[in-house]
Copies of this chain bind each other. A is one copy, B any other.
């Protein structure tokens, strides 16, 4: 049903991405379980097209050609997310956002603003640090290297409520995993509260969706009930947008 060599080429690209965009041939072999000759041949093909690049030490890295298609795809995904974000706005009355983790940063990729007069507005494309945002917390809760991320970024204090202790933050991520949603109680911007839920591709958390608004309005909502509603929407979106991924086991 599937074309073997294409499948394998994608495996290689993904293996490279998981290793942070760079790996040696044998590292790829270890991860994918493919024979060396095969990997080398497929890499040559990707190399010739600029999807992979070879460094001077003969290691392989993801190449520039992925940027173009990736950018186009990101806008598409943002577009598909809009109806779902609109549902979240309907449910909560507040502005809804979708964000992904890019490196150590949270990047907003789509937004549907609240119809209210007083509302949040975070431009699409904006980058923020994960430790002080609800989406950042859901995104990191799924990763085992959260502590390393905090090590690199530090935990700059944004407001008096920002959590600046690594231990407290890791404990909070634990809570996020357990209850399935994350909060930001004025940690990024004073007077602004957010509630975020994960978007999964069936295997891993690939994005986060959140609603944000003035502290008083958000506090007035029933958190658990809201979270339940948002999770449902995020799950629907996840299976629609990323759903066909990871089949064939």
Enumerate chain A interface residues (CB-CB to B < 8 A).
1-3, 5-7, 9-10, 13-14, 16-17, 20-22, 41-42, 44-51, 53, 61-77, 100, 102-103, 105, 107, 123-127, 201, 206, 241-248
Contacts and interface: CB of A to CB of B under 8 A. Distances in A.
Contacts of A10: 49, 51, 65
Taking each of A42, A50, A63, A67, which has the highest tally of chain B beta carbons within 10 Å of its own beta carbon? A67
A247 B50 CA distance: 9
Nearest first, the 10 A-B pairs at minimum CB distance are: A70-B70, A50-B245, A66-B73, A125-B127, A62-B73, A2-B45, A21-B72, A6-B9, A64-B242, A3-B45
Q: State the number of copies, please.
A: 2
A151 B171 CA distance: 50
A242 B65 contact: yes
Contacts of A17: 68-69, 72-73
Most chain B CB inside 10 Å of its own CB: which residue of A6, A7, A102:
A6
A152 to B, nearest CB: 13
Contacts of A66: 66, 69-70, 72-74
